[in-house]
Amino acid sequence: MELGFFDGEFIDLKERRVLLEDRGYQFGDGIYEATHVYNGKCFALDRHLARCRRSLRELRIPITYMDEELTAIHNDLIQKSGVKNGVIYFQITRGVAKRNHAFPDSVVPLLSMTIRESKTNTKWQEEGIHCTLFEDIRWLRCDIKSLNLLGNVLAKQASHDKNVQGTIQYRKDTNLITEGSSSNFFVVKDGVIWTHPISNLILKGVTRSILVEKIIPSLGYTLVEKAFTPEFAKSADEAFATSTSLEVTPVVHLEDATIGNGKPGDVTKSLLAAYHDLVKKECGSLS
Ligand code: PDD
C-alpha cells in the first residue's frame, strides 16, 4: 500500500495535501532524501539523515526533526504500509509563510513523506544502460539536496527524448563530467576507478560514499577522485552510475560510443556484488 505522512499525520497518498503558501511549493525552499527499503528495513538511513542535516544547515533551515523522530516515522511508514521493498521519500521545507523571497521571521519547518513499493531494475544491472550526454545547467550548490530540481528534470528528460535510460551531465565551461541526472558517475580505465571529486558541483551520494569509504578499499581497487572529460569516459574500459535506486548500474553506451566491449565489466560487477553483500548484512536480505 502507498502511504504518506503530512504535517504530523499518516495519510492515504490519494488524499493529496499541499499548503498553498508552503515555501517548498512556492520557492522549492527545502530539502529531500530518498531511502531504499529492503526486506522491511531502511538501508543506510544514518547516512541519509546526516546528509539531510547538512542540507538543512547549508540552507539555514532550523533543524527541528531529530534523527530519532525521523527514524521512528520511517519505521512506522514501513510497518503501516506493509511495504517490504520500496523507497521512502521525505522532504523538509522552510514552512508556511506569506510569500516573500527573504526568510520569514519565524518558521516551523514542514515534513512530508511517502512510501511506495519499487523494484531495482535488475535487467539494467545485468545488461547495462545507454546514456546521453547533456550540458549541466544547474546552480552552483549541487552539493545541497535541494527541492529545486529543474536542471535535473531537464537532464533526465533528454534521455527520454533520445530513448535511452540515463543522462550524464558535463559542464560546458570546463568540458568535465559532473554526475548523472540523479546519480553519481564513475569510469574504470586501466584498472583505476575514476569519479568527480566532492565539490559544490555534485551531490555527495550515499551510495558513492559507501563505495568510496568501504567497498573500493576492501576490494583493493585504486580510486582517483578527479574530474574527466566526456572523451575520456567514452574511451574507458567500464562505466557505471550509482544511486539509492540504481545501486551500481553499468553504463555500456555513452552518446555515440560503446564503453569497453558493450557489456558490464568485471570491476563494476564486483562492486555491485559487494554492495549487495552490505545490504544483506544490514537488512537481512535483498528482498
Ligand atoms: N537522487 N546525484 C544526484 C544529482 C542525485 O539526485 C542523487 C540521488 C545522487 C545519488 O545519491 P544517493 O546515492 O544518495 O542516492 C547523485 C535520488 C535517488 C533522487 O533524486 O530520487
- Among the atoms of ligand 1, which is closest to the Cα of residue 184? 16
Tens digit of pLDDT for each residue in 15-37? Answer: 878 899 999 999 999 999 999 99
Q: Where are the beta strands (DSSP E) in the chain?
A: 3-6, 9-12, 30-38, 41-42, 86-93, 110-117, 129-135, 166-171, 176-180, 184-189, 192-195, 222-225, 238-243, 247-254, 257-258
Ligand 1: does its nearest atom lie under 6 Å from the Cβ of 184?
A: yes
The rounded Cα 267 to chain-centroid distance in angstroms is 22
Ligand 1: does its nearest atom lie under 6 Å from the Cβ of 35?
A: no
Cα 276 to ligand 1 centroid, rounded to whole Å: 18
Ligand 1: does its nearest atom lie under 6 Å from the Cβ of 205?
A: yes
Matching residue, cell 540515463: 166
The pLDDT-based confidence of 1 (bands split at 50, 70, 90) is: confident
The mean pLDDT of the chain is 97
Our mutation pick for probing the ligand 1 site, out of 131, 184, 247, 278, counting the most ligand atoms within 8 A of Cβ, is 184
Contact 87, 118 (CB under 8 A): yes
pLDDT at 155 over 80: yes
Closest residue by Cα to atom 19, ligand 1, is: 182
Tens digit of pLDDT for each residue in 61-108? Answer: 999 999 999 999 999 999 999 999 999 999 999 999 999 999 999 989
Q: What domains can be seen in the chain, in order of their start residue?
A: 3-117 (3.30.470.10), 122-283 (3.20.10.10)
Cα 106 to ligand 1 centroid, rounded to whole Å: 31
Give the model's pLDDT for residue 49: 98
Distance CA 37, CA 35 (A): 7
Instruction: List the catalytic residues.
Output: 145
Dihedral pair phi/psi, residue 153, rounded to 5°: -65, -45
Cα 243 to ligand 1 centroid, rounded to whole Å: 5
Closest residue by Cα to atom 11, ligand 1, is: 205
Tell me the whole-structure pTM to 2 decimals: 0.97
Ligand 1: does its nearest atom lie under 6 Å from the Cβ of 207?
A: yes
Tens digit of pLDDT for each residue in 230-281? Answer: 999 999 999 999 999 999 999 999 999 999 999 999 999 999 999 999 999 9
Cα 98 to ligand 1 centroid, rounded to whole Å: 31
Closest residue by Cα to atom 4, ligand 1, is: 182
Mean pLDDT across 138-154:
98
